[in-house]
Amino acid sequence: MFHLFDQHRNALERAVKAVHERVFYAHFPEHPAAYGETGLADGKAAFEGQLNQTFSLLQTDTSGSVGEEVSPYTGQPLGVQYPAATVEVLIKNAQNAFDTWRHSSVQERAGLLIESLERLRPRFHEIAQATQHTTGQSYMMSFQASGPHAADRALETIAVAYDELTHYPENVRWEKPMGKIAVVLDKTYKPIPKGIGLVIGCSTFPTWNTVPGLYADLMTGNVAIVKPHPKAVLPIAIFIAELQNVLRDNGFDPNIVQLAADESSNLLTKTLAEHPAVRLIDYTGGSKFGDYIESLPNKTSFTEKAGINSVIIDSARDIREVMRNLAFSVSLYSGQMCTAPQNFFIPAHGIALPDGEVCSYDDAVALLRNEISSLVLNPKMGAGTLGAIQNPDTLTRAENAAQLGAKVLLSPIAVKNAEYDNARVCAPTVLETTAADSAVYEQELFGPVLVVVKTNDTQHSIALAKAMAAKHGAITCAAYTTNAETAARITDEMNAVFAPVSLNLIGFIWVNQHAAFSDFHVTGGNPAGNASFTDSAYVCKRFVWVGNRRTL
């Protein structure tokens, strides 16, 4: 097995170096062209070959099959069926596989796991097709987020875990001088994994949000059961298939990682989560269920839940560039991102511009509204930026946003997807409230809905954004100011409630984006989640250091 570690050693060392330096690094290029001239066609053919078939996995003792995925673009079922198993079978398989896996070396695990990512490389286009037709993301977003970006996040997790697992020596000769004699001991230090990990996936980012927990479990010597959202199984099933193939090819039990596919009418999630053999739980999804996961006794949980993300606009060099950037941020994937901005806090006296000029509040709001309209109506960009709505319930909420009691500044503009007539497309709704209308903006409005909140001044905006983050959680905060003291104050106040700040983003970088090897995704410090991709705590809580001693 060390041949795989030797084969991938350079990649691992570069990844560890990137984790420490936090500079731009991508082991897997995000450009589709980097994966062969026929990559797109081959991936589409492979995806279409999966439709209406039973997906092949190596896990044992399965019985029957399940599957209910429907494309948000075509409205048609994918027809893919996945091997089903009872909770007890999944647990039994995991327990049987755990003993051998926990005794494997850190180097063996690193080699095997990086090998699985390399085997996934030629399947990124296939994964993109699977993601597009389960989540509603555009093809480009599906390719980047579920393919190279997800693989980089997995590699980052391997690197962080490897760094922590090799932090202490495996054995030392310990000698304590005591006058004419000395006490001499041999000491060993072992990272002991906790056991079975459960990874609960979400419907909008089925690989990007799932693979950090999956690979963190496996790299630290735990076995994993992946419970995907029943509406978005295929993308992560492909990851699991390659992991199982690598394990089998190298003499390990494929049941070290298992897919726990289920259906909406018979979900396995709670039964798995509450099973006493499950020691670790990774969860991405809504806050109510996330709170339940965090409340379970005798479990170590890693959650990413909902948050209310704010935009604080104080001043700007080019207000049109600011609004253009924010229009893209709220329109990207129809706001179905945990990092998408929702509440826009704008002072009633307007936004300061260079040379003493001021953009009035009304002009600023009109500019935001117009930039959104221009983007979604752009025949080359509109439909591709919006993608499709993954869940019909999200579409219903967005279409009913006018009933929230706020003034409607922009109703959803009709946008057609030229390639898919039946695509669930919904452009953003822009609402307006005063700061007193907290019932409107003090809730997560997941999807293409944003709220402009008129505030007294920038300090009032900061106070409201900070309160939202402290009470409800926030994963991002965008802020715009040309004043250094104001920038420092916004950063300090939002950091105090563990919300990261992105200052003055314009051009081709948006608050929604988090980069592997550099950005921490979620801080784990406010109600938006209790863990972070990918700090040391994210891996260290999955194992325990045990020291043993013996005399010579």
Distance CA(172)–CA(269), nearest Å, equals 44
- The residues of the chain that CATH labels 3.40.605.10 are 2-305
For residue 43, what pLDDT is reported?
98
Residue 43 carries which side chain, given as an amino acid letter?
G
Assigned token pair, 122: 């030629």
Mean pLDDT for the chain overall: 97
CATH number of 310-503: 3.40.309.10
Other CB atoms within 10 Å distance of the CB of residue 175: 11
Distance CA(199)–CA(215), nearest Å, equals 10
The string of pLDDT tens digits covering residues 111-151 is 999 999 999 999 999 999 999 999 999 999 999 999 999 99
Provide the Cα torsion 379, 385, 386, 389; round to 10°: 130
Distance CA(148)–CA(250), nearest Å, equals 25
Rg (CA), the chain: 25
Assigned token pair, 286: 């809504």
Tell me the average pLDDT across 75-95: 98
For residue 16, what pLDDT is reported?
98
Residue 512, SS3? Answer: coil
For residue 1, what pLDDT is reported?
55
Pair 389, 136: CB distance under 8 Å: yes
Residue matched to tokens 């003499």: 251
The string of pLDDT tens digits covering residues 252-304 is 999 999 999 999 999 999 999 999 999 999 999 999 999 999 999 999 999 99
258 Cβ partners below 8 Å, 6+ apart?
59, 85, 90, 93, 94, 224, 225, 226, 240
The string of pLDDT tens digits covering residues 337-363 is 999 999 999 999 999 999 999 999 999
Return the CATH number of 2-305, one of 3.30.70.260, 3.40.605.10, 3.30.450.20, 3.40.50.360: 3.40.605.10
Pair 81, 53: CB distance under 8 Å: yes
Residue 489, SS3? Answer: helix
For residue 552, what pLDDT is reported?
84
Distance CA(305)–CA(284), nearest Å, equals 6
Distance CA(69)–CA(381), nearest Å, equals 27
379 pLDDT more than 70? yes
Distance CA(305)–CA(283), nearest Å, equals 8
Distance CA(449)–CA(447), nearest Å, equals 6
Give, in degrees to the nearest 5, the angle at Cα 472 between 471 and 478: 105
- The residues of the chain that CATH labels 3.40.309.10 are 310-503
Assigned token pair, 475: 């994963």
Confidence of residue 2 (pLDDT cuts 50, 70, 90): confident
The string of pLDDT tens digits covering residues 210-269 is 999 999 999 999 999 999 999 999 999 999 999 999 999 999 999 999 999 999 999 999
Q: Has this prediction a pTM greater than 0.95?
A: yes
296 Cβ partners below 8 Å, 6+ apart?
273, 274, 281
Give, in degrees to the nearest 5, the angle at Cα 440 between 435 and 441: 65
Tell me the average pLDDT across 385-395: 96
